[in-house]
Amino acid sequence: MLSKLVEQTCLAGATDAKIVSTKDISIEHHLADMCKDPQCENYGLSKSCPPHVSGPDGFRDLLKKYERAIFFRIDVPTEILVSPSEDRREVFRLLHEIAAATELSAKEMGYDDARAFAGGSCKRIFCHEHPDCRVISGAGECRYPDSARASMSGYGVNLFKLMKIAGWQMDRITGDTDPEATPMGSLTGLVLIE
Ligand code: SF4
């Protein structure tokens, strides 16, 4: 049944997806700390980013409920990843939508507690035209419950280790990466399955 889920994740737009054991998910405090220092420009802006998420300790507790996960990636030209363009926003939006769609498919297959995580700030991706995250401001529920998912960064998930376990190569893309030297990068998502 999980192989069917992997298939659906790829059909939804992932470049590749793998089933991994939650035992292979490494949670590291220093990675979560990087959201704050050096402070990400999106720090604190949504309920899906620190300090509004339960962080590494909370994620470790959460993992106790789960045995496996679907780990997926989308390969994206570095030129898009390093630019502040609408295209960049769109690929992050796709990342969240694939994660949420996989979570929904898992639930429809009977994995009632499936829970998806993505990357990037949902404030910047989905609510960039709004002054506030609706949840943080106390005005109501999330505007995009069917798409927006929490970023793995705030929980300290070591994506490089997970990529290695999945058998994928991952180049670290930063604002200084030269697209000619490193033409492609990857965005990753994770869906926990009980
Ligand atoms: S309301 Fe917007 S910023 Fe807040 S959690 Fe939902 S998508 Fe993210």
* 3-class secondary structure, 74: strand
Q: Can you tell me which residue has the tokens 């994506």?
A: 159
Cβ proximity of 122 and 149 under 8 Å: yes
- Give per-residue pLDDT as tens, 123-133: 999 999 999 99
Our mutation pick for probing the ligand 1 site, out of 143, 146, 151, counting the most ligand atoms within 8 A of Cβ, is: 143
In angstroms, rounded to a whole number, what is the distance separating the alpha carbons of residues 99 and 141? Answer: 20
The token duo for 98 is: 């694939």
Closest-CA residue to 163 (of 16, 7, 61):
16
Question: Of ligand 1's atoms, which has the minimum distance to the CA of residue 130?
Answer: 2
- Does the pLDDT of residue 31 top 90, yes or no? yes
H-assigned helices in the chain: 2-11, 29-33, 55-63, 78-81, 86-108, 122-125, 134-137, 159-166
pLDDT of residue 186: 95
- Give per-residue pLDDT as tens, 67-108: 999 999 999 999 999 988 889 999 999 999 999 999 999 999
Closest residue to atom 4 of ligand 1, CA basis: 133
Question: Of ligand 1's atoms, which has the minimum distance to the CA of residue 136?
Answer: 4
Cα-to-centroid distance, 125 and ligand 1 (Å): 9
The predicted model gives 138-143 an average pLDDT of: 97
- Give per-residue pLDDT as tens, 153-194: 999 999 999 999 999 987 788 888 889 889 999 999 999 999
Quote the radius of gyration of the chain (alpha carbons, Å).
Answer: 16
Question: Of ligand 1's atoms, which has the minimum distance to the CA of residue 141?
Answer: 1
- Does the pLDDT of residue 120 top 90, yes or no? yes
Residues in contact with ligand 1 (CB, 6 Å cut-off): 46-48, 122-123, 126-127, 133-135, 142-144, 148
Domain count, the chain: 1
Percent pLDDT > 70 in the chain is 100
Cα-to-centroid distance, 178 and ligand 1 (Å): 32
Q: What angle do CA 130, 92, 150 make, to 5 degrees?
A: 70
- Does the pLDDT of residue 1 top 90, yes or no? no
The token duo for 187 is: 């965005």
Cα-to-centroid distance, 149 and ligand 1 (Å): 9
Q: Is the backbone peptide bond immediately before 50 cis, with ω within 30 degrees of 0?
A: no
Domain enclosing residue 123, as ranges = 2-193
